[in-house]
Amino acid sequence: MGNKVSSQRYQASKLLDTNKQLTTANVIETNEKSTETKDFKYYFNNDNNIHRQHDLYFLKKHLFQCGISSPIKEKLITGCKVLDLGCGPATFLLDLAVQYPDSKFLGVDIEPLFPSEIKPKNLKFKIVDILQRLPFLDNEFDFVHTEAVLFLLPSEKIDFLINEMIRITKPNGYIEICESIFNNQSKGIGEKFGHLLHGFGLVSKLHKADIKVALKLSQMLAAKSNIHKSSVNDKLVVVGKNGGKLGVIMQDILTWFNNSSELFVVDICRQLNLTKEQYDQLVVDAFNELNFTCPEMTLHLAVQYPNSKFIGVDIEPIFPNEIKPKNLEFKIADILQKLPFPDNEFDLVHLESVLCSTKSTKTEIVLNEMVRVSKPNGYIEVGETFIYKDVGEKLCYILHGLDLVSALYGVEKFIGLKLPEIVTKISNIKNIKVEDRAIIIGKNGGKLGMISKDLLAWFDDENSGNLFVNEICEQLELTREQYHVLLKDIYNELECTSPEMTFRRVYAQKIS
């Protein structure tokens, strides 16, 4: 599959995917146009396409705000082992190897399109056929990555490759797969471009390849018994000038149709019953059509967590007892007391939206317990939410009431804002990091804004309970009727304001 696959992937990645940039290396050389060669990978001509692979990688990096979506940044900093399957010209690996000099990177492909001389010392390459058993030990890599490869493979080989990726990944390591969704049924696709992509799909079927594999990835990975917690991240790009700068870049990538291999042109013409001249005109018409259509290409990124064990604790058993993964357990425990676990037990200890309802005198106890049960070089992660920017008068008033009620119970005001300062005071930790993500509440924040608006429904009687409503009414000197009017006023106010709800996550590493 190799570079050829790389190349295909690139090309097809252009076709099918925005994020397949680095593995989508075009490697098929002009002497590989022989009609005797019928592998799907040989369709993708290498000429003039390396720059497009670079464009794809950095486009993907911009969309996902990172080169890697798996949460392994700290491991990359301290040093880990990374494998890229079907690396092509290695844009992805070159970028990461420079950023993380203490980690080791290995790229494999069936042909040496990758650089042999000018490369970082921590980056190596190896010629490998990824359709055979990979020449690596079980549990060898912390992170195994592949992009724009699966859609080029015979369907029966996809499951084999995924199993191999899992086999060579360490327990608690990650695999990451990136594929694109762009076909004749994609949203906004025009008649001409749809016909062109229909032909591409017919040609892929000749070789038993599945260009819609991205749609099946989640289901395929969920069926793996030794994988836990699939995380899927989709990003949309409107192809063409109507998609802005990113759309124009994607259109340029898709100009592969203009200079594809002769073998591909012969087969797609046969499938669509076109002459070479008619095919050339179809390509011209399809790209002109992009001026007044908005076809959407979806970049589909699946991250998996193999062989991990999870345990959740709470003081009340509201967690599921029956329907749950085999590697997930629950335990009733009061987190305000000493946790019922030995020292150095967990690689990651996570706490979300708890400190905002915890007495300030107990906050330090909880955090110290999190550190105690974490392994050396393990992590604690604490998340809280707060609203403080561009808040309208009505929303500000009810939040003031919430603060007054919290004070009755000794709960820290603005715990989310103060979280970094609080965590800094905890001993035996290092590498404290803060991540904030803001959402505009209400319709002005789009779909996420409407979801965050629904979170405010907690203030309603039936959701928050009579005790809370009684106390906030008392603190604000309101009757129940006035309180209900206030809630309605808040929802109306959201129509013309843009208050920000900030999700703050603070994480730190335990000192070894």
Q: What 3-state DSSP class applies to 503? A: strand
Residue 314 pLDDT class (50, 70, 90 cuts): very high
> Residue 215: its pLDDT value, please?
81
Instruction: Return the higher-pLDDT residue of 295 and 307.
Output: 295
CA angle 432, 435, 441 (to 5 degrees): 150
Domains and CATH numbers, the chain: 2-305 (3.40.50.150), 309-340 (no CATH), 349-510 (no CATH)
- Has residue 175 got a pLDDT over 60? yes
Instruction: Return the higher-pLDDT residue of 286 and 236.
Output: 286
β-sheet bridge partners, residue 510: 429
State the average pLDDT over residues 268-286: 94
> Residue 307: its pLDDT value, please?
61
Considering the chain, what percentage of its residues have pLDDT values greater than 70?
85
- Has residue 20 got a pLDDT over 50? no
Query: Any idea which of 37-41, 386-390, 411-415, 438-442 has the lowest mean pLDDT?
Result: 37-41
> Residue 113: its pLDDT value, please?
73
Residue 23 pLDDT class (50, 70, 90 cuts): very low
Distance CA 217, CA 228 (A): 14
What does the mean pLDDT of the chain come to? 82
Condensed to tens digits (0 to 9), the pLDDT of residues 378-434 reads 999 999 998 878 899 999 999 999 999 999 999 987 888 989 999 999 989 999 999
Length of the chain: 512
Condensed to tens digits (0 to 9), the pLDDT of residues 93-125 reads 998 998 999 999 999 988 877 777 778 899 999
Q: Which residues have a Cβ under 8 Å from the Cβ of 344 and sit 6 or more positions away? A: 373, 374, 375, 376, 378
Instruction: Return the higher-pLDDT residue of 489 and 255.
Output: 489
- Has residue 43 got a pLDDT over 70? no
| φ, ψ (nearest 5 deg) of residue 258 | -75, -25
Q: Element (H or E) spanning 365, and its range?
A: helix 360-373
> Residue 184: its pLDDT value, please?
73
Classify residue 313 by burial, with Cβ atoms within 10 Å: 0-12, 13-18, 19+. Answer: middle
> Residue 41: its pLDDT value, please?
53
- Has residue 25 got a pLDDT over 60? no
Q: What's the pTM value of the predicted model, to 2 decimals?
A: 0.54
Residue 303 pLDDT class (50, 70, 90 cuts): low
> Residue 226: its pLDDT value, please?
74
> Residue 67: its pLDDT value, please?
72
C-alpha distance across the termini of the chain, in Å: 43
Tokens at 474, concatenated:
């008392």
Residue 141 pLDDT class (50, 70, 90 cuts): very high
State the average pLDDT over residues 172-188: 84
Residue 234 pLDDT class (50, 70, 90 cuts): confident
How far CA 149 is from CA of 40, 141, 152, 160, 234, in Å, comes to 11, 19, 6, 13, 17
Out of 109-113, 463-467, 504-508, give the one with best mean pLDDT: 504-508
- Has residue 161 got a pLDDT over 70? yes
**Buried (b) or exposed (e) across 473-493, using 16+ Cβ within 10 A?**
bebbebeeeebeebbebbeeb
Out of 133-142, 309-318, 380-389, give the one with best mean pLDDT: 133-142
Distance CA 9, CA 382 (A): 39
Asked whether 370 and 352 are in contact (CB, 8 A), the reply is: no
